[in-house]
Amino acid sequence: MNVCVYTLGCRLNQCESEAIADSFSQEGFTIVGESEQADLYIVNTCTVTSKAEQKARRMIRKFALSGVVLGTGCYAQVNEEELKTLSDNVIVVPLEKKAHLLKLAKHLKASLVAGFDLKSGCLSFSDGQASVFDYDAASFSYHSRSFLKVQDGCDNECAYCRVHIARGKAVSLDSATVVQRALALEAAGFSEIMLTGVNLTMYDHTHKGLGGLLEELLAELGPDIRLRLSSLEPDHIDERLLATLSDPRMQPHFHIPVQSASNKVLSRVNRHYDIEGLSSILDRLRLAKDDPFIAADVITGLPGEGDEEFEETFRYFSEQQFAQMHVFPFSPRPDTPLFKASDRVPESLRDSRALRLRELSDRLYNSYVQRQIGKEAEVILQNRKAGSWYGLSGNYLEVKVPNAPLFAREGLLVRGVFAPLDEGTGKPIVLCHA
Ligand code: SF4
């Protein structure tokens, strides 16, 4: 029986989806991609933007034409009723019960053997106990790299955010279990582990923090494993964390949800840092690594963003030479303090600002790629097409590796040097060392 796990939203969702897919694969189900026919679809939704919710509804309707759909995730948590009405083939599993899906495969296998149909099998399932840290995949169906969830929830209350409402208060997986799971992934042959959470820098923030966790991991893991961090909120990037980043096993890639470079706007939307503090963090990241890939999230049209505040933001991103920006036009989310804000920016202005920032992002990305030429590179191989391997570099560039070794395989870490861009694909080329 074919199962498709379709994911929207953040890396944490991807990590949790992989663990769910792994639990089905271990029970003998076949995991397939979204373009293949499946009997059961699990749609792991996101509520960050109205666009993400729209896409979830579209995909759920589409999948429901050919199979049973389990809709779960943050959107399913905050608007269960809306998803229920999409089709009779849809069963909603709110976020608080998402971890129960890790045990569904075993139950379904037994109920199918007993002669129940798939939908009845799903409806008859209930599991009493599940923790947000039960997601512990041993294999990954949709990625060549491994993910490890170490944190969930968030204690901040950014005025535009619905995620902290869906996910609840910050909680952390104890460091001994994190280390034990990381060692298992290393022993299974993974070259890279990405640490994920809703707000990763809130990992055990009242005690030793993310820096303390990284110290433990780096002390236990071998020299050939690489650690990548999912997005880092600026407000808990402390000295201890910064000190671990110069370890060569830490990937030179950082993703920071900056959102605005105007202190006035940051304070209006209840962010907990200012732009001067962020600048000194960026300086430290660049001291720890040689020209790391620093990506940023930006929201245009936040309430209170006048022309002056936007120009301030534009100038800042341009001067700071971010490698890439993920630009989101502000969409007011129900149940958040900004839902009925009176100082809203007109949509046309919000969108034209987004366009300007996206054009800036393209220019910054191209200039980042160009200045890598001639530099050393590490690449984790992902797939092979027309005789060449493709992969992801430590600094997060999708690259072509035309001369990978004969023993190359998905997930292998290779070393080489960045060469000029491939004319056919437009991707940077990495030539492996002989
Ligand atoms: S830091 Fe802010 S935006 Fe991020 S999850 Fe927490 S409340 Fe939401």
Q: Which of 202, 235, 251 is the last residue of a domain?
A: 251
* Helix, strand, coil percentages in the chain from 3-state DSSP, rounded to 5: 40, 20, 40
Q: Which atom of ligand 1 is nearest to the CA of 161?
A: 8
Please write the tens of the pLDDT for every residue from 216-228. 999 999 999 999 9
Pocket test for ligand 1, best of 233, 260, 335 (most atoms within 8 A of CB): 233
Residue 254 pLDDT greater than 90, yes or no:
yes
Please write the tens of the pLDDT for every residue from 319-343. 999 999 999 999 999 999 999 899 9
Question: Could you tell me the distance, in angstroms and rounded to a whole number, from the CA of residue 162 to the centre of ligand 1?
Answer: 8
Q: Which of 197, 222, 251 is the last residue of a domain?
A: 251
Cα separation values, 278 from 158, 284, 306, 313, 314, Å: 17, 10, 21, 13, 15
DSSP collapsed to 3 states, 107-118: HHHHHHHCCCCH
For position 224, what pLDDT does the model report?
93
Band of residue 412 on the pLDDT scale cut at 50, 70, 90: very high
Distance CA 64, CA 83 (A): 12
Question: Could you tell me the distance, in angstroms and rounded to a whole number, from the CA of residue 213 to the centre of ligand 1?
Answer: 21
Query: Is residue 135 in some structural domain?
Result: no
Same domain, 28 and 103: yes
212, containing H or E segment: helix 209-220
Question: Could you tell me the distance, in angstroms and rounded to a whole number, from the CA of residue 47 to the centre of ligand 1?
Answer: 12
Distance CA 283, CA 225 (A): 26
For position 182, what pLDDT does the model report?
97
User: Which residues surround ligand 1 with Cβ inside 6 Å?
Assistant: 154, 156-158, 161, 163-164, 198-199, 233
Query: Is residue 138 in some structural domain?
Result: no
Query: Is residue 130 in some structural domain?
Result: no
Query: Is residue 137 in some structural domain?
Result: no
Please write the tens of the pLDDT for every residue from 60-101. 999 999 999 999 999 998 889 999 999 999 999 988 888 889
Residues 395 and 372 sit within 8 Å (Cβ to Cβ): yes
Same domain, 246 and 260: no
Same domain, 274 and 318: yes
Q: Which of 343, 371, 399 is the last residue of a domain?
A: 371
Query: Is residue 191 in some structural domain?
Result: yes
Write down the mean pLDDT value for the chain: 94
Instruction: Give the count of domains, the chain.
Output: 4
Same domain, 264 and 239: no
Same domain, 192 and 291: no
Question: Could you tell me the distance, in angstroms and rounded to a whole number, from the CA of residue 93 to the centre of ligand 1?
Answer: 23
Residues 196 and 149 sit within 8 Å (Cβ to Cβ): yes
Cα separation values, 210 from 107, 157, 207, Å: 37, 20, 9
Please write the tens of the pLDDT for every residue from 350-405. 999 999 999 999 999 999 999 999 999 999 999 999 889 999 999 999 999 999 99
Same domain, 119 and 153: no
- Find the CATH number of the domain harbouring 386: 2.40.50
Domain, as residue range, for 226? 144-251
Please write the tens of the pLDDT for every residue from 257-294. 999 999 999 999 999 999 999 999 999 999 999 999 99
For position 140, what pLDDT does the model report?
84
Query: Is residue 326 in some structural domain?
Result: yes
